[in-house]
Homo-oligomer: A and B are copies of this chain.
Amino acid sequence: MDYQAILNVIEKELENFHPGGKVPDYIPELSSVSPDKFGMHLYGISGGHYCFGDSEEKFSIQSISKVFTLALAKKIGKKIWRRVDVEPSGDPFNSLTQLEKEKGIPRNPFINAGSLVVADILITHLENPKKDLLDFVRLITNDQSIEYDFAVAASEKKHGYRNIALVNYMKALGNIDNDVDEILDFYFHQCSISMSTKQLAKAFMIFANEGRILETNERVLKPNSVKRINAIMQTCGFYDEAGEFSFRVGLPGKSGVGGGIVALHPQQYSVAVWSPLLNEKGNSEKGMRALEELTTLTGLSIF
């Protein structure tokens, strides 16, 4: 069965699967998205594109952006592991308890606190961090149309009390160098990037392809950095449901509260899926099911 046939099976099987979760309600831009949206895009290492549904519709990538900022920090060669750990958190993505216990060192770069520290590092080392991040995402996607959604960024800033708390708390504990408002501005923008599953699958191909852009063969990350980022996606990519995802899907990946999930099988493919309804852990329920079917039907997980 080829990839397109497998995707067709998945689409068919999940046609009548209506998960019981909900769309996030904290900002109007996310709560107004139709819960019925569903799309999937797989990008094979041989260059093929396979898809169904709303695979070319853009949505807010939210926490998926944390992989981009981590990759950018590695690309510019910055040491980050003294300031962010690489262990799974065992706590929700925005917990302050663990930060307190561990004296301001976030457990990993994919919880909010960790990504705020990565933002701090980028701001220290880049001239135009917001522009540079966008350029990096456009580069690896080979698509100049990708943009921030300024309305989303503005809404997040208005309701981002918990992230404001996190960054100020780390500042109090000595793990933040730059101005907290500048970091928050960067962070709310990174989360607001709009991309389709097709664009996400293309962007994440660098992690399946040892750090090279498939179309151009340009190297953007060292193989060793890719191995590390994939390992962190495997153990930390799904908040406190990382084990469940690893258990059900068996691929490194990352989710966002916009309903997107990206995953990849090294040397085989990258894949993105979108369905806005979230389970109580904040991950797209239908998206997880789709990826579970994918590794079952291909018979290929990393395990």
| Residue of A87, A89, A99 ringed by the most chain B CB atoms within 10 A | A87
CB distance from A119 to the nearest CB of B (A): 16
Would you call B86 and A230 a contact (CB within 8 A)? Answer: no
Would you call A108 and B162 a contact (CB within 8 A)? Answer: no
Shortest Cβ distance from A226 into B: residue: B303
- Within the assembled complex, what's the spacing in Å between the Cα atoms of A252 and B235? 11
Given A172-B161, A243-B235; A90-B100 close (CB under 8 Å) = no
Q: A168-B168, A234-B303 are in contact. List 13 more A-B contacts (CB 8 A).
A: A88-B89, A88-B235, A90-B90, A95-B100, A96-B100, A161-B180, A164-B168, A165-B172, A230-B250, A231-B301, A231-B303, A235-B235, A235-B246
- Within the assembled complex, what's the spacing in Å between the Cα atoms of A161 and B98? 18
| Interface of chain A, main secondary structure | helix
Given A96-B97, A235-B235; A228-B247 close (CB under 8 Å) = yes
Q: A residues engaging B (CB < 8 A)?
A: 85-91, 95-101, 107-108, 161-162, 164-166, 168-169, 171-172, 180, 226-228, 230-232, 234-236, 240-244, 246-247, 250, 252, 266, 301-303
Would you call A87 and B243 a contact (CB within 8 A)? Answer: yes
Would you call A241 and B95 a contact (CB within 8 A)? Answer: no
- Within the assembled complex, what's the spacing in Å between the Cα atoms of A107 and B252? 20
Would you call B247 and A232 a contact (CB within 8 A)? Answer: yes
Can you spell out 5 A-B residue pairs with CB atoms less than 8 angstroms apart?
A: A87-B240, A164-B168, A165-B165, A234-B234, A302-B303
CB distance from A183 to the nearest CB of B (A): 12
Would you call A242 and B165 a contact (CB within 8 A)? Answer: no
- Within the assembled complex, what's the spacing in Å between the Cα atoms of A85 and B90? 11
Given A87-B90, A101-B97; A243-B236 close (CB under 8 Å) = yes
CB distance from A112 to the nearest CB of B (A): 12
Q: Hey, which chain B residues are within 8 Å of A242, CB to CB?
A: 87-88, 235
Q: Hey, which chain B residues are within 8 Å of A232, CB to CB?
A: 243, 246-247
CB distance from A109 to the nearest CB of B (A): 11
Say which residue of B86, B90, B165, B247 sits within 8 Å of A89 (CB atoms): B90
Would you call A266 and B303 a contact (CB within 8 A)? Answer: yes
- Within the assembled complex, what's the spacing in Å between the Cα atoms of A46 and B236? 33
- Within the assembled complex, what's the spacing in Å between the Cα atoms of A184 and B96? 20
Given A97-B100, A252-B303, A303-B227; A243-B86 close (CB under 8 Å) = yes
Would you call B168 and A86 a contact (CB within 8 A)? Answer: no
Q: Hey, which chain B residues are within 8 Å of A100, CB to CB?
A: 95-97
